[in-house]
Amino acid sequence: MLFKIVMHDEKINRLHEMKKKAELGGGQERIEAQHTKGKLTARERLDLLLDSNSFIEIDKYVVHRSNDSDATKYYGDGVITGFGTVNGRQVFVYAYDFTILGGSLGEMAGRKIVKLMDHAIKVGAPLIGILDSGGARIQEGVMSLDGYGDIFFRNTMASGVIPQITASIGPCAGGAVYSPAMTDFVIMVENIGQMFVTGPEVVKEVLSQEVSFEDLGGARTHSTKSGVAHFVAENEYECMDKIKKLISFIPQNNLEVSPVIETQDDPNRLEPDFSKILPENPYEQYDMKQIIKLLVDKGDFLEVHEHFAENILVGFARIDGKTIGIIANQPMYLAGALDINSSTKAARFIRFCDCFNIPIVTLVDTPGYLPGTDQEHNGIIRHGSKLLYAYCEATVPKVTCIIGKAYGGAYIAMGSKNLRADINYAWPTAEIAVLGPEAAITIVHRKDLKNSKNPIEIKKKLAKEYRQKFANPYIAAEKGIIDLVIDPIETRIMIVKALNVLQNKRESRPVRKHGNINL
């Protein structure tokens, strides 16, 4: 009997030793090196993100299968995978461990991630990936590339089924960058997160261009220029907070709805400050964010792509405790005109909301599409059509409110009745027309203005007449294109009522394998 107990204890002790070794990753020296760089370890990151004692690790004792006999085998093989909860909600998460072979992806690490992704899809829970990796493991050759290929396929299968979130808190290079780009949201940490297809050394060798890691693929570059990063965090702690807040707005999967939160903000609240924000001159700038924050519960607006294509605003908020997606023109930038980047940005966000049953509220104040050879030559027609496609395709409740200008094709593109918006409101200040008054009379009254001795005064008079006859919301209301012209003070109430009546909306589309959006 004593012999059996001793044998039993030996096996338990071996388990604890293996567990301790696995949790040390690449060893204490490499952990200290990670801290010296100002970075947390993979396990420390998971502790920050997940609820206390909720993480269950899977494939903890996996090791690589490399034929290189000199290669040290580490438990976990450079990536930690498992499941846990974030504020009580189930998530699946993987985190590259830079202390093990630079977090490089080999065959077994790839298999671990793929297994986790399959679990997340079957269970119907968000998938979170934390990047800190040197890329494909060179020593394993094609098998490391094979791992990335399998991950890309799972990213595609998970798209529109479960939310996918990526946190870039370290290097990510080569083919590895395409998995984050296929996920729904990318969060990058300043001065730590970096993503690029080819590094500065290759750029210098091939193109003779000197560029730093940050300028080539840092957080600011990808949040302002490329649009790869949806959020930027100052540090790893803020990064995890942003993930938690993002998850609070979105559902577990495409068959559920977002959590309803008791916000203590009266759904019947009147807001007299709305009309104070809008200037009398329709061509003066104002900040649309002020209107959004007055409209939503407690002014809580989680802006997505804040630093990219700033002429349009997208993000999550709540009205009457329920999550909504907001799309709004921003007159502070390019007068709120639509261009290539803003069209792509808004279209992508609309498609996410539609995938995950999040109603869409659109606030309109745009003078049209941005003109110029730069836009035309780079494909404003092609990219602008994405916004039209996204609105047309979306079957979630869609409520639009025209606040100011809504001219030409941009009027149609911004959640018009033609694109199957359900309820379309307008403020009395709305101007709906083919062209703005000044541009329209320049064309219609070209001869009169040319022959006039006082063209400036005549132009003012004609513009005023045009606004009264054509560029006002009542013409559209007469035709049923605008459902109701509302007092700005009642905007919150009217949107709440519209969303409530639409909550059981069902709308079908023709049966097809999938549409062919103009990518």
pLDDT of residue 355: 97
Phi-psi region of 232 (alpha: psi -120 to 50; beta: other; left: phi over 0): beta
pLDDT of residue 385: 96
pLDDT in tens, 105-127: 999 999 999 999 999 999 999 99
Class of domain 2-249: alpha beta
Strands (E), 260-391: 301-304, 312-319, 322-329, 360-366
What tokens were used for 358? 């999040």
Closest CA to 240 of 171, 167, 306, 177: 167
pLDDT of residue 69: 46
Distance CA 519, CA 517 (A): 6
What tokens were used for 392? 């047309």
pLDDT of residue 293: 97
pTM above 0.85, yes or no: yes
What topology is assigned to 274-435+471-501 in CATH?
Answer: 2-enoyl-CoA Hydratase; Chain A, domain 1 (3.90.226)
Active-site hit among 125, 158, 394, 410 = 410
Distance CA 131, CA 444 (A): 58
Residue with tokens 């399959």: 118
Those residues whose C-beta lies under 8 Å from the C-beta of residue 81, and which sit 6 or more positions away, are 57, 58, 59, 93, 94, 112, 113, 115, 116
The yes-or-no answer on residue 193 being catalytic is no
Domain with CATH 3.90.226.10 in the chain: 2-249, 274-435+471-501
Active-site hit among 174, 199, 227, 321 = 174
The yes-or-no answer on residue 404 being catalytic is no
Distance CA 25, CA 418 (A): 57
The yes-or-no answer on residue 217 being catalytic is no
What tokens were used for 190? 């300043």
User: What residues in the chain have per-residue pLDDT under 50?
Assistant: 69
Exposed e or buried b per residue across 106-136, where buried means at least 16 C-beta atoms within 10 angstroms of its C-beta? bbbbbbbbbbbbebbbeeebbbbbbbbbbbb
What tokens were used for 132? 């800190």
Distance CA 358, CA 161 (A): 14
Distance CA 504, CA 363 (A): 23
Those residues whose C-beta lies under 8 Å from the C-beta of residue 406, and which sit 6 or more positions away, are 364, 365, 366, 414, 430, 431, 432, 433
Q: Identify whether the C-beta of residue 80 lies closer than 8 Å to the C-beta of residue 46.
A: yes
Distance CA 393, CA 382 (A): 17
Task: Provide the 3-class DSSP secondary structure of residue 225.
Answer: helix
The yes-or-no answer on residue 135 being catalytic is no
Distance CA 511, CA 245 (A): 36
Q: Identify whether the C-beta of residue 15 lies closer than 8 Å to the C-beta of residue 60.
A: no
pLDDT of residue 283: 83
Distance CA 384, CA 373 (A): 15
Closest CA to 73 of 100, 47, 48, 98: 100
Active-site hit among 175, 199, 227, 321 = 175
